[in-house]
Structure 1
Amino acid sequence: MGIQGLLQFIKDASEPISVKKYRGQTVAVDTYCWLHKGAFSCAEKLAKGEPTDQYVSYCMKFVDMLRSFGVKPILVFDGRNLPSKKEVEKSRRERRQANLQKGKQLLREGKISEARECFTRSVNITPSMAHDVIKTARMRGVDCVVAPYEADAQLAFLNKSGIAQAVITEDSDLLAFGCKKVILKMDKQGNGLEIDQCHLGRCKSLGNIFTEEKFRYMCILSGCDYLPSLYGIGLGKACKLLRMANNPDILKVIKKIGQYLKMDITVPDEYIEGFTKANNTFLYQLVFDPLKRKVVPLNPYPDHIDPASLSYAGTNVGDEKGLEMALGNMDINTMQRIDDFNPDAPYTQPSKAARSSSWNDRCDKNSQLQISIWCKNYEPGSTQPKSPTTPKRPPPTRGKEKIISVQSLKMPQRESQVKRPREGKQVSGLSRKQPCGQGKGGKIETSAPARPSGLRKKASGKKSTVNNENSPGLQATISGLWGAFSFKKDNPKLSACKKGEPMSPVRENVMTELTEAEQEILIIAE
Structure 2
Amino acid sequence: MGIHGLQKLINDHAPGAITETEMKNLFNRKIAIDATMSLYQFLIAVRIGGEGQPAAANLTDESGETTSHLQGLFHRTIRMINNGVKPCYVFDGKPPDLKAEELAKRAAKREEAEKNGKEATEAGDTETIAKFAKRTVKVTRKHTEEAKRLLTLMGVPVVDSPTEAEAQCARMAKEGLVYGAGSEDMDSLTFGASVLIRHLTFSEARKMPIKEINLSVVLEQLGLDMNQFTDMCILLGCDYADSIKGIGPVRAFDLIKKHGSLEEIIKNLDSTKYPIPESFDYVRVRQLFKEPDTLPASQIDLKWKDPDEEGLIEFLVKEKGFAEDRVKSGIEKLKKSRGTSVQNRLDSYFGAPVKRKLEEPKKEKGKGAKKAKTGGKAAASPVKKGAGKKK
Residue 201 of structure 1, CA deviation: 5.4
Residue 287 of structure 1, CA deviation: 1.3
Quick one: distance in 2 between partners of 1:86 and 1:257? 27
Identity %: 23
Does residue 36 (structure 1) correspond to residue 10 (structure 2)? The answer is: no
The one-letter amino acid of 1:285's match is: P
Q: Superposition pairs for residues 19-98 of structure 1, below 5 Å? A: 19-40=23-44, 41-42=46-47, 44=55, 50-98=64-112
Residue deviations 1:317-347 (CA, integer Å, cap 9, x gap): xxxxxxxxxx9xxxxxxxxxxxxxxx99x97
* SS of structure 2 residue aligned to 1:75: strand
The one-letter amino acid of 2:41's match is: K
For residue 235 of structure 1, what is the aligned residue in structure 2? 249
> Alpha carbons of 1:115 and 1:251: their partners in 2 closer, same or farther (altered >3 Å)?
same
Among 194, 212, 217, the residue aligned to 1:194:
212
Residue 240 of structure 1, CA deviation: 1.2
Quick one: distance in 2 between partners of 1:288 and 1:195? 23
Could you tell me whether the CA contact under 8 Å between 1:78 and 1:147 is conserved in 2?
Answer: yes
Could you tell me whether the CA contact under 8 Å between 1:78 and 1:149 is conserved in 2?
Answer: yes
For residue 389 of structure 2, what is the aligned residue in structure 1? none
Residue 26 of structure 1, CA deviation: 0.3
Does residue 182 (structure 1) correspond to residue 196 (structure 2)? The answer is: yes
Could you tell me whether the CA contact under 8 Å between 1:47 and 1:100 is conserved in 2?
Answer: no
* SS of structure 2 residue aligned to 1:286: coil
For residue 15 of structure 1, what is the aligned residue in structure 2? 19
Residue 348 of structure 1, CA deviation: 7.2
Could you tell me whether the CA contact under 8 Å between 1:27 and 1:164 is conserved in 2?
Answer: yes
Residue 264 of structure 1, CA deviation: 4.1
- Runs of 4+ with >3 A deviation: 43-49, 186-191, 263-268, 346-349, 351-355, 366-369
Q: Superposition pairs for residues 356-395 of structure 1, below 5 Å? A: 356-358=328-330, 359-366=333-340
Greater shift, 218-227 or 18-27, is seen at 18-27
Does residue 145 (structure 1) correspond to residue 159 (structure 2)? The answer is: yes
* SS of structure 2 residue aligned to 1:288: coil
Does residue 280 (structure 1) correspond to residue 294 (structure 2)? The answer is: no
> Alpha carbons of 1:113 and 1:234: their partners in 2 closer, same or farther (altered >3 Å)?
closer
Residue deviations 1:17-45 (CA, integer Å, cap 9, x gap): 12323322200111222212221223646
Residue deviations 1:172-203 (CA, integer Å, cap 9, x gap): 11111111111112344594111111322574
> Alpha carbons of 1:162 and 1:238: their partners in 2 closer, same or farther (altered >3 Å)?
same
Quick one: distance in 2 between partners of 1:267 and 1:80? 28
Quick one: distance in 2 between partners of 1:266 and 1:108? 43
Could you tell me whether the CA contact under 8 Å between 2:84 and 2:341 is conserved in 1?
Answer: no
For residue 324 of structure 2, what is the aligned residue in structure 1? none
Q: Superposition pairs for residues 106-505 of structure 1, below 5 Å? A: 106-186=120-200, 187-189=202-204, 191-200=209-218, 203=221, 206=222, 208=223, 210-245=224-259, 250-258=262-270, 264-265=273-274, 270=278, 274-289=281-296, 291-292=298-299, 349-351=307-309, 354=313, 356-358=328-330, 359-366=333-340
Quick one: distance in 1 between partners of 2:37 and 2:234? 22
For residue 6 of structure 1, what is the aligned residue in structure 2? 6
The count of corresponding residues between Structure 1 and Structure 2 is 312
Quick one: distance in 2 between partners of 1:368 and 1:291? 24
Residue 147 of structure 1, CA deviation: 1.6
> Alpha carbons of 1:5 and 1:250: their partners in 2 closer, same or farther (altered >3 Å)?
closer
Residue 290 of structure 1, CA deviation: 6.0
> Alpha carbons of 1:202 and 1:158: their partners in 2 closer, same or farther (altered >3 Å)?
closer
Quick one: distance in 2 between partners of 1:184 and 1:119? 24
Quick one: distance in 2 between partners of 1:21 and 1:81? 34
Could you tell me whether the CA contact under 8 Å between 1:65 and 1:188 is conserved in 2?
Answer: no
Quick one: distance in 2 between partners of 1:54 and 1:266? 44
Quick one: distance in 2 between partners of 1:23 and 1:253? 44
Relative contact order, higher structure (CA 8 A, sep 6+): 2
Could you tell me whether the CA contact under 8 Å between 2:155 and 2:306 is conserved in 1?
Answer: no
Could you tell me whether the CA contact under 8 Å between 2:88 and 2:158 is conserved in 1?
Answer: yes
Residue 81 of structure 1, CA deviation: 2.5
Residue 115 of structure 1, CA deviation: 2.1
Q: Higher helix proportion, which one?
A: 2
Quick one: distance in 2 between partners of 1:368 and 1:167? 24
Could you tell me whether the CA contact under 8 Å between 1:42 and 1:55 is conserved in 2?
Answer: no
CA RMSD of aligned residues (A): 3.3
Quick one: distance in 1 between partners of 2:252 and 2:182? 27
The one-letter amino acid of 1:255's match is: K
> Alpha carbons of 1:91 and 1:267: their partners in 2 closer, same or farther (altered >3 Å)?
closer
TM-score by length of 2: 0.71
The one-letter amino acid of 1:33's match is: M
Task: Compare CA radii of gyration and give the structure with the larger one.
Answer: 1
Residue 2 of structure 1, CA deviation: 1.3
> Alpha carbons of 1:239 and 1:139: their partners in 2 closer, same or farther (altered >3 Å)?
same
Quick one: distance in 2 between partners of 1:97 and 1:23? 42
- Gaps spanning 5+ residues in structure 2: where? 49-54, 314-326, 352-391
For residue 397 of structure 1, what is the aligned residue in structure 2? none
The one-letter amino acid of 2:255's match is: L
> Alpha carbons of 1:292 and 1:202: their partners in 2 closer, same or farther (altered >3 Å)?
closer
The one-letter amino acid of 1:156's match is: A
- Gaps spanning 5+ residues in structure 1: where? 294-326, 328-342, 372-385, 390-526
Quick one: distance in 2 between partners of 1:65 and 1:217? 38
Residue deviations 1:217-264 (CA, integer Å, cap 9, x gap): 101012111111222212222211222226xx64244222349xxx84
Quick one: distance in 1 between partners of 2:293 and 2:218? 27
